[in-house]
Every structure is written in C-alpha cells, then in structure tokens.
Amino acid sequence: MLANPALVEILNRAIEKPVSREEAIWLMAECATDSLVATAGRIRDRTRPDIITYSRKVFINLVNLCRDTCTYCTYKKEPGDALLSMMDPRQVLAIAEAGKKFRCTEALFVTGERPEQKYEQARSWLHKFGHSSTVEYIQEMSELVLSKTGLLPHTNAGSLTKKEMAMLKDTNVSLGVMLETISERLTEKGMPHEDAPSKNPKVRIKTLESAGELRMPMTTGILVGIGETPDELVDSLFAIRQLHEKYGHIQEVIIQNFAPKPDTGMAQEPPAQSEYFRRAVAMARIIMPDMNIQVPPNLNPDTFGRYLDAGINDWGGISPVTIDHVNPEFPWPSIKSVKQVTEGRGRRLRARLPIYPEFLKGGFITSDRLMQYAGLISDDSGLVREDYAND
C-alpha cells in the first residue's frame, strides 16, 4: 500500500478529530497497516496516556444453557453435559469469597441467553430458588455477592429488556452485551448467527439503547473474523460510536478475534488473520478516539503486547481464581506477565473496577450503597487502590 497523500492527510486530521464513515472505510481498505497502527497509538497517547488497565475478577458461570446456537460457540451446553453449570447460591458465594481472598474487585455473572425459554431443566432450576426468569436469579445472586463480599457485580446475560436492566441497576455497577456485528447478512441461512435470534443486530442495538436510556454503563464490542466484510466491520464500530454519542454510556469496546474451536460449526474456518485484526484494533481507536478500547490477552497469548502499539488502553478482566468459561481453550495469562509486557512497552499497569473511573465519578451510579462499596477499594482517581491491588 503506497502513501497516498490524501490518506496521510486523513490520518493527520484523525489525531485531533474523529474520522467520518467514508474516511474510515477508505483507511480500512487502502491504508498501510503500520500507518494505521502508528496513528492509533498517537491518538491513544493523547487521550489515554501512560496507564493501561485491567479488572481483577472472578467469572461466575451461573447457567450455560442457552436458547441460541452460534456456530463458533463452545460456551453453550446441553442437559446432561458433564460441563453443564447451574449454580446454587452456596456455589456462587464460594467463588466470590475465593475472589475476595485474591483481592478481586469484579464478580462477572455470565449466563446463556434466556435458557428458561427453551429448557424445562432451566425452568425447574429457577423455580427451586423462587424465580421464573434468569434475570431475577441474577438479581438475587448479585445482592448476595455484593453484601457478603463487596465484589462489584457486572452481568453479561445477553440481550435484556429495559425492565430487566432496571432490575439490576441497584446491584450491578455495569452490564455487558457484545454487538459482535451490525451485519444482518450474518443472520442468514448458513451464516454464524442463523440460529441465534438474540444476535440479530437490531436486538443488540435495542438492548444498548435501553441501557443508554437508563444511564447504565455498558461494555460492548465486535467479534472480528466471523465472515464480516471490512466495510461491515467499520459500520459495526460506527454503530457503537453513534450509540455513545447519543447516550454517553458505552464505557469500553472489546475488539475480539475469532478463533475456531473443536466440535463447532466453524471449527474448520480460519482464525481472524493477524494483520486484519491489527487493522481492526487500530480502526477502533481511530473511529472512537476517547473510548476505552480492549483486547483480551488470553486470546492472543504470544502477541498481546503488540496491541498496545495499536491504541488499546485496557486488557479486560483477568482472573487469578477462575477460567474464562466462554473461551476455556485460552487460559488467562498471569497478572505478573501482563504487567511485564505492559511495562516493557513503556506503560503502567493499574487495576480498575468493573466500572471505569469516568463513569464512577460521572454520576452514572445512583445507588449510595454501590458508591460506598466502590469507595472502599478505589482511590481518588477512581482506580483500585494500589495497596489493595498489588501482590
């Protein structure tokens, strides 16, 4: 790719001003990867200097039955599977208490998408605890963990209604739902989201809009390499940018690379190509200069440091206690090794809460009790106190 003067001009302007969709599509198609990466790094240095963050967490795999079927997923289990998880309160609390001992600050609740709509076993499990929906049970377990351990809940339960998110607002400092892609083409026959109605972009966008109306801090992101075109990738990033411009509630954007997994419909598909993924990461920063941009280090165990150069400022949740149940094939790196890589690139590693400082201090939490719990483990910057987080 040659250094087109017009592309150079766009990159230079991008240091100070977000690019347009047309400019982003042109950059993605024609600009040299090294130039994209360098520009993204300069933007990050202007907007998010010095510190790279992560969240020390426990992963609470509440129930991994799911009404959807995605062709790349190994998280979903079926009744009778040896790895089926349907946790009771005692099990939930045991994980949270273990996390407390390791100075975790986040309790990540993850579930399949509305399993009670498809499985009698899920309905019976919920009924045993006095609930008719997964969200009701998440609310109870969030309260349990918060009150008994002080870990701050963050829930990723797929697409939720506004009413359901409102139920979690007093116990969860943030919520998450991956957009994955804005492309409805990927819901068509033979495509990755054909049998996953909740992955329809309109459903995901509605969830994110409802969270914005509630002023609920949200984590979202895209999945790179599942068959989207470069234009669709750019459009997905712009969809997120536009939501944040309207509501101001997107606290981080995860850029996740597709990796094929055994015994799935996409097991024989190639992984996200390395250079294409680097371009995607850089474009996320160029399109959203002030956003917290994250790449999970466990999905790139040998190369995650290079994404610091491409403009990220966060590693996401890392657990010293539990595995990544969504990607069990990819163990977490140790926090010590992440620190070494981060410092080797001239950055400081700091632990954060599951709510970013600007949202913690920006009036998004309306619960005095949540603010009190957050205040016990955070410093004046809104990050985790260094005397609490350091090994």
Assess contact for 21 and 234: CB atoms under 8 A.
yes
Q: Hey, CA dihedral for 41, 43, 45, 49, is it positive or negative? A: negative
Tell me what pLDDT residue 334 has. Answer: 95
What does the pLDDT look like over 307-339, one tens digit per residue? 999 999 999 999 999 999 999 999 999 999 999
Q: What is the mean pLDDT of the chain?
A: 95
Q: Are 191 and 223 in contact (CB under 8 A)?
A: no
> To 10 degrees, the CA torsion angle through 42, 308, 259, 316?
-110
Q: Across 73-77, 138-142, 262-266, which has the greatest mean pLDDT?
A: 138-142
Kindly state the tokens that stand for 255: 């850029």
> For residue range 144-199, what is the model confidence (pLDDT) as tens digits?
999 999 999 999 999 999 999 999 999 999 999 999 999 999 999 999 999 988 89
Q: What is the pLDDT of residues 120-142, one digit of tens each?
A: 999 999 999 999 999 999 999 99
Q: Tell me, what CATH number does 359's domain have?
A: 3.20.20.70
- Which pLDDT score, from 0 to 100, does residue 49 have? 83
CA-closest candidate to residue 50, choices 379, 341, 350: 350
Helices of type H across the chain: 5-14, 21-30, 33-47, 89-101, 120-128, 134-149, 162-168, 201-213, 230-247, 274-287, 306-309, 335-344, 357-360, 368-377, 386-389
Q: Is the pLDDT of residue 357 over 50?
A: yes
Average confidence (pLDDT) over 268-281: 95
DSSP 261: -
Rounded to an integer, the average pLDDT of 71-84 is 93
Average pLDDT, integer, range 267-282: 95
Give the Cα-Cα-Cα angle 171, 173, 178 (nearest 5 degrees): 115
Name the residue among 158, 173, 160, 167 with its Cα closest to residue 216: 173
**Cβ proximity of 112 and 165 under 8 Å:** no
pLDDT mean over 35-52: 94
Beta carbons within 8 Å of 161's beta carbon, 6+ residues apart: 207, 210
Any idea what DSSP says for residue 366? Answer: -
φ, ψ at 356 (rounded to 5°): -70, 155
Q: Is 284 helix (H, G, I), strand (E, B) or coil?
A: helix
* Cα angle value 179/185/188 (rounded, 5°): 105
Per-residue model confidence (pLDDT) at position 325 = 93
114: pLDDT strictly greater than 50: yes
1 has pLDDT over 70: no
Domain extent, residue 181, equals 5-389
Instruction: Using the predicted structure, report yes or no on whether residue 391 has a pLDDT greater than 80.
Output: no
Are 181 and 228 spatial neighbours (Cβ–Cβ below 8 Å)? yes
> Can you read off the two tokens belonging to residue 31?
């600009």
- Using CA atoms, how far apart are residues 249 and 39, in angstroms rounded to an integer? 25
Residue 17 above 60 pLDDT? yes
Number of domains, the chain: 1
- Give residue 364's pLDDT: 93
CB-CB contact of 1 with 32 (8 Å): yes
CB contact burial 157-177 (16+ within 10 A = b; e otherwise): bbbbebebbebbbebbbbbbb
